[in-house]
C-alpha cells in the first residue's frame, strides 16, 4: 500500500473535477447538456500550422533530443514577435524561456524563485492553477480582490504596506479569466512604479493576449516602460491559435526570473518535440498569422455579442467582456454561485462554472464559456429565461 507524500496532501482540490462529474451525471442520464463550464477552444488549429507540423514531423532531424531549454531559433522567433507586436526588445538567449504550455511555468515559478515562508499575491477571482505553485514551493500566498467597481483591476493603493513589502511576486492576468476585463496603460504604469517601490516581481499571464474585442488589441504588460526590470509575461499558443492540446508556450522578460525558470525546466524535462517547436516558429513567422488570429477573435466576438444580447433580453445584465472567451455573470438574489450553477444544470440543462471556484470574490458570479455556436448560446439563454429568475 502506498500513500501520497505530505507535499501532495497540501495541493488544493481541483475545483473543476466536481463540475465535470456533475455534468457527466446529467449527460449519462440522457440530458442534452449545453456545457458552458469549461475553457477549451472548440475550433481547429489554423491549417497553415497543421501543415507546417506535418512537414516537420516527417523530418528525421526532429526525432532526436534537442536542447533542454528549447531551440535557439524558437527563442529568436518569440523575441522577434514581441518586438513586432509590442515594441519590446528581448535578448533571446537570456530573456526568453520555452515552455510546454504556460501552466507549467506558472506553477513552477514559486518553486523556482521562492523560499519557505515567502509570500506571493494572487488575484481573487483568478485562475485556480495559480494556487498549486504555493503547495509545491512550500510558500504562502495572499489574495488581492478584483472588484466590479474597479473594472476588475486590483486597487494597488489598498494593498496594505506590510503585505506589499512582504510579497515576492504578484500574478496578474489581463485579458482576465474569469471576468473578461482588460488592463489599461495607466494601470500598468502604476503597477511598474508600485513593483519597483516594494520590490515585487510582476508575473503577467497573457494567456488571452490575442483575444481583444471591438477592434482593441489587448496591451501587453511588456509594453510598459520598465516592465522588464520588474517582471515577466507568459504567452501561450493555447488560445491565440486554438492549440490548447499541443502544449506550447513561452515566457519573456526579466532575466533573473527567466534564468530560474530555465534551470528548473532543465531538471524536469528533456526537450520538447522539436517538430512542435519548429511549427511554433512557423506559427509566428508565417504571413497568414494575423489573418488566422483575426478569424479566431471574430468568432469569439460574434458569440460574445449573441450571448450578451440574449442575456439582456431576459433581464440578465452582463459585465460586457472586452476580451477572452468568457462572460462573468451575476447570480440572482437569493442564490449562491454553486446553488445557482446547480439549478441551471438541473432545471435548464446548462452547465456553468460557479464563481467561487475562482476565489472568495467570485462568489455571486458564474463564468460562462463562449465556446459553442451563437445558436447554441442563444438556446442556453432561452432555457435559462424560462426559469424566470431575472426581473
Ligand atoms: N492562464 C490562464 C488564465 C488560463 O485560463 C489558462 C488556461 O485555461 C492557462 C493559463 C493555461 O494555459 P496553457 O494551455 O498554456 O497551459
Residue 14 has pLDDT above 80, yes or no: no
Q: How is residue 236 written as a grid cell?
A: 501561450
Euclidean distance between CA atoms 349 and 386, whole angstroms: 12
pLDDT category, 39, cuts 50, 70, 90? confident
Residue 90 has pLDDT above 90, yes or no: yes
Q: How is residue 37 written as a grid cell?
A: 463550464
Euclidean distance between CA atoms 76 and 92, whole angstroms: 5
pLDDT of res. 190: 98
Euclidean distance between CA atoms 351 and 40, whole angstroms: 14
The model's pLDDT over 203-246, given as tens digits with 9 standing for 90+, comes to 999 999 999 999 999 999 999 999 999 999 999 999 999 999 99
pLDDT of res. 255: 98
Report the atom number in ligand 1 closest to the C-alpha of 177.
Answer: 3
Q: Which residue has the cell 489599461?
A: 184
How many residues belong to the chain?
391
Can you say how many angstroms the Cα of residue 318 is from the centroid of all Cα atoms in its chain? 21
Going from the Cα of 163 to the center of ligand 1, the distance in angstroms, rounded, reads 27
Find, among 321, 35, 299, the residue nearest to 179 by Cα.
321
Mutate to test the pocket of ligand 1, among 16, 37, 236, 247 (most ligand atoms within 8 A of CB): 236
- Average of pLDDT values for 45-69? 97
Question: Which are the contacts of 387, defined by CB distance < 8 A and separation ≥ 6?
Answer: 343, 344, 347, 348
Q: How is residue 185 written as a grid cell?
A: 496603460
Tell me the DSSP string of 210-227. T-B-TT-PPPPGGGSTTH
Give the residue whose CA is nearest to atom 1 of ligand 1.
207
The secondary structure of residue 185, as a DSSP letter, is H
Give the residue whose CA is nearest to atom 2 of ligand 1.
207
CA angle at 179 for the pair 177 and 181, rounded to the nearest 5°:
95
Report the atom number in ligand 1 closest to the C-alpha of 176.
Answer: 3
Residue 12 has pLDDT above 90, yes or no: no
Sign of CA dihedral 110, 114, 115, 117: negative
For residue 321, the number of C-alpha atoms closer than 13 Å in the C-beta half-sphere is 31
State the CATH class of domain 6-45+290-385: alpha beta
The model's pLDDT over 323-374, given as tens digits with 9 standing for 90+, comes to 999 999 999 999 999 999 999 999 999 999 999 999 999 999 999 999 999 9
Residue 318 has pLDDT above 90, yes or no: no
What are the beta bridge partners of residue 213? none
Ordered by start, the domain boundaries in the chain are 6-45+290-385, 64-286
CATH of domain 64-286: 3.40.640.10
Question: Which are the contacts of 119, defined by CB distance < 8 A and separation ≥ 6?
Answer: 139, 140, 141, 142, 163, 166, 167, 168
Pocket lining: 103 vs ligand 1, CB cutoff 6 Å: yes
Angle between helices 289-313 and 274-285 (to 10 degrees): 80
pTM of the model: 0.97
Going from the Cα of 19 to the center of ligand 1, the distance in angstroms, rounded, reads 18
Euclidean distance between CA atoms 217 and 321, whole angstroms: 13
Report the atom number in ligand 1 closest to the C-alpha of 244.
Answer: 14
User: By three-state DSSP, how is residue 91 classified?
Assistant: coil
Percent of the chain with pLDDT over 70: 100
Tell me if domain 6-45+290-385 and domain 64-286 are identical in fold: no
Mean pLDDT of the chain: 96
Q: How is residue 220 written as a grid cell?
A: 501587453
Euclidean distance between CA atoms 85 and 109, whole angstroms: 25
Residue 47 has pLDDT above 80, yes or no: yes
Q: How is residue 83 written as a grid cell?
A: 518586438
Euclidean distance between CA atoms 121 and 246, whole angstroms: 29
Q: For the chain, what is the total number of helices (H) and then of strands (E)? A: 16, 12
Going from the Cα of 206 to the center of ligand 1, the distance in angstroms, rounded, reads 9
The secondary structure of residue 344, as a DSSP letter, is I
Q: Is the ipTM of this complex over 0.90?
A: yes
Amino acid at each position: 500500500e502506498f500513500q501520497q507524500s505530505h507535499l501532495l496532501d497540501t495541493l488544493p482540490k481541483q475545483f473543476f473535477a466536481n463540475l465535470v462529474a456533475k455534468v457527466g451525471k446529467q449527460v449519462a442520464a440522457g440530458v442534452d447538456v449545453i456545457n458552458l463550464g469549461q475553457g477549451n477552444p472548440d475550433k481547429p488549429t489554423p491549417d497553415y500550422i497543421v501543415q507546417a507540423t506535418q512537414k516537420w514531423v516527417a523530418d528525421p532531424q526532429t526525432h532526436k533530443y534537442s536542447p533542454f531549454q528549447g531551440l535557439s531559433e524558437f527563442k529568436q522567433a518569440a523575441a522577434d514577435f514581441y518586438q513586432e507586436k509590442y515594441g519590446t526588445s528581448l535578448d533571446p538567449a537570456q530573456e526568453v524561456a520555452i515552455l510546454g504550455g504556460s501552466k507549467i511555468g506558472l506553477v513552477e515559478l514559486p518553486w523556482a524563485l521562492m523560499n519557505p515562508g515567502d509570500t506571493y499575491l494572487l488575484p481573487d477571482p483568478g485562475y485556480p492553477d495559480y494556487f498549486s505553485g504555493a503547495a509545491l514551493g512550500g510558500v504562502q500566498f495572499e489574495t488581492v480582490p478584483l472588484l466590479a467597481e474597479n473594472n476588475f483591476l486590483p486597487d494597488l493603493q489598498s494593498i496594505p504596506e506590510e503585505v506589499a513589502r512582504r510579497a515576492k511576486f504578484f500574478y496578474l492576468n489581463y485579458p482576465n479569466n474569469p471576468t473578461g476585463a482588460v488592463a489599461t496603460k495607466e494601470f500598468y504604469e502604476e503597477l511598474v512604479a508600485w513593483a519597483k517601490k516594494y520590490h515585487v516581481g510582476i508575473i503577467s499571464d497573457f494567456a488571452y493576449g490575442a483575444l481583444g474585442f471591438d477592434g482593441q488589441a489587448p496591451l501587453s504588460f511588456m509594453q510598459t516602460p520598465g516592465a522588464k526590470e520588474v517582471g515577466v509575461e507568459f504567452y501561450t499558443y493555447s488560445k491565440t491559435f486554438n492549440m490548447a492540446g499541443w502544449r506550447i508556450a513561452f515566457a519573456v522578460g526579466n532575466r533573473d526570473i527567466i534564468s530560474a525558470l530555465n534551470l528548473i525546466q532543465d531538471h524536469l524535462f528533456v526537450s520538447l518535440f522539436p517538430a512542435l517547436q519548429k511549427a511554433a516558429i512557423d506559427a509566428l513567422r508565417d504571413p497568414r498569422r494575423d489573418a488566422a488570429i483575426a478569424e479566431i477573435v471574430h468568432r469569439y466576438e460574434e458569440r460574445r455579442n449573441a450571448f450578451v444580447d440574449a442575456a439582456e433580453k431576459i433581464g440578465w445584465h452582463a459585465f460586457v467582456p472586452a476580451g477572452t472567451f468568457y462572460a462573468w455573470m451575476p447570480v440572482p438574489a437569493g442564490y449562491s454561485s454553486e446553488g445557482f450553477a446547480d439549478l441551471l444544470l438541473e432545471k435548464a440543462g446548462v452547465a456553468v462554472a460557479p464563481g467561487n471556484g475562482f476565489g472568495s470574490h467570485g462568489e455571486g458570479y458564474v463564468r460562462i464559456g463562449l465556446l459553442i455556436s451563437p445558436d447554441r448560446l442563444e438556446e442556453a439563454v432561452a432555457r435559462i429565461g424560462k426559469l424566470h429568475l431575472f426581473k
